[in-house]
Amino acid sequence: MNQQDNLIDQLEEAVAGKSVSRRADVLKRVADLFFVGSGKYSEAQVELFEDVMTKLIASVEVAARARFGARLAAASDAPANVVRLLAFDPAIEVAGEVLSRSECLSDEDLIANAQTMSQEHLLAISKRSELKEELTDVLITRGSREVLVSTATNAGSRLSSSGLTALVGKAHLDERLTLSLWSRPDVPRQDMVNLFRQASEGLRLQLEAANPRQVQSIRVAISAASERVHAIARTGSVDYQQAQIALAELYAEGKLGEPILVELLERQNFDGIALAMALMCDLPVGLVERALAQGRYEQILLLAKAIELSWKTTLALLQFQANGKVVAQAEVDQYFATFSRMQVKTAQTALQFYRLRESGGKT
């Protein structure tokens, strides 16, 4: 008797003469038999298991399917059609482990599941060790707040530019989701600042269009909400807190100056650069963060001139602000001409205006 015939005999013995009420026990026996030789079966043998398993899971209760699914989720050679059936089971007790762990589901299976199944199914998918951009796009489009947070905090998730923008838009007034996004190491902090600024601007325009008589109150409310979101993100960042303590000590000792800023620029440390500039200019860090993220070179030139930075350090700030983009020589020449013409006193007067504006006119 060959191995194929022996396997058939064992499977027939497992299912023969069993009543419907005992099919759960039969399914367990079939699973036991499969795992004994897992990784060693031929394609034909796996297909045989698939046929038997498919028939059995159609007639067992949820608890039995859930136990079976949890076991099969760990098998890299599990029958694909059986895994697919379990993944699309309406009961999350059955589908959850398979969606979160099984390597036998294709990208197409996962995307189709995310497009059609429940939020519980989406949450299970969001916990996989790797999530490709096409899949996270669907999770972000359809997902509940819990799904969005899980996707954002998953170190293995990859976000497309459109997905990240959509996620930022949904996170704008959600503290937990905001912290989840700001903790991602794959998105530069200046990019995140700019994305949240754009989301604030988009929300402001929508509200103003709907309430044209309340433009000023809307702008004040959106500005306050935006700053609150950024403050929450800073509070939740260990790196930010450490940089804040270190730079505050240097500032108190009179040691925070251009050399420290140059060192931070060499390390491309956004938090450190923003904090150092804020302390040196006596401005709220949020204002400096926005200046660094928005790509408005006039603000950087003004701040640099006000605290009398050298042109070399100012240029390094402008290059950092460009966030990886090459600054053309013609632009550099234009910036230098503006920087050279600007008077320190004029820049310091403008800085005083910034301080008054940010404090609401209070001195």
Distance between CA atoms of residues 88 and 113, nearest Å: 7
**Average pLDDT value over all residues in the chain:** 86
Q: Which of 126, 150, 151, 153 is nearest to 236 (CA)?
A: 153
Using one digit for the tens of pLDDT, what is the confidence trace for 112-133? Answer: 999 999 999 999 999 999 999 9
pLDDT exceeds cutoff 70 at 15 = no
Distance between CA atoms of residues 113 and 102, nearest Å: 14
Task: Provide the pLDDT for residue 16.
Answer: 55
pLDDT exceeds cutoff 70 at 13 = no
pTM of the entire predicted model: 0.68
* Tokens standing for residue 109: 């299976």
Residue boundaries of the structural domains of the chain = 1-125, 132-236, 253-358
Distance between CA atoms of residues 9 and 25, nearest Å: 18
Q: Which of 146, 148, 101, 138 is nearest to 117 (CA)?
A: 138
Using one digit for the tens of pLDDT, what is the confidence trace for 345-362? Answer: 999 999 888 888 776 655
Distance between CA atoms of residues 87 and 105, nearest Å: 8
pLDDT band with cut points at 50, 70 and 90 for residue 186: confident
Structural element, H or E, at residue 287 = helix 285-294
* Tokens standing for residue 305: 């001139």
CB proximity list for 88: less than 8 A, separation 6 or greater: 95, 113, 117
Per the CB < 8 A criterion, the answer to whether 169 and 202 are in contact is: yes
Task: Provide the pLDDT for residue 3.
Answer: 47
The better pLDDT of the pair 184, 112 is held by 112
- At 157, is the secondary structure helix, strand, or coil? strand
Using one digit for the tens of pLDDT, what is the confidence trace for 283-314? Answer: 988 889 888 887 778 999 999 999 999 999 99
Task: Provide the pLDDT for residue 8.
Answer: 56
Distance between CA atoms of residues 269 and 243, nearest Å: 9
pLDDT exceeds cutoff 60 at 2 = no
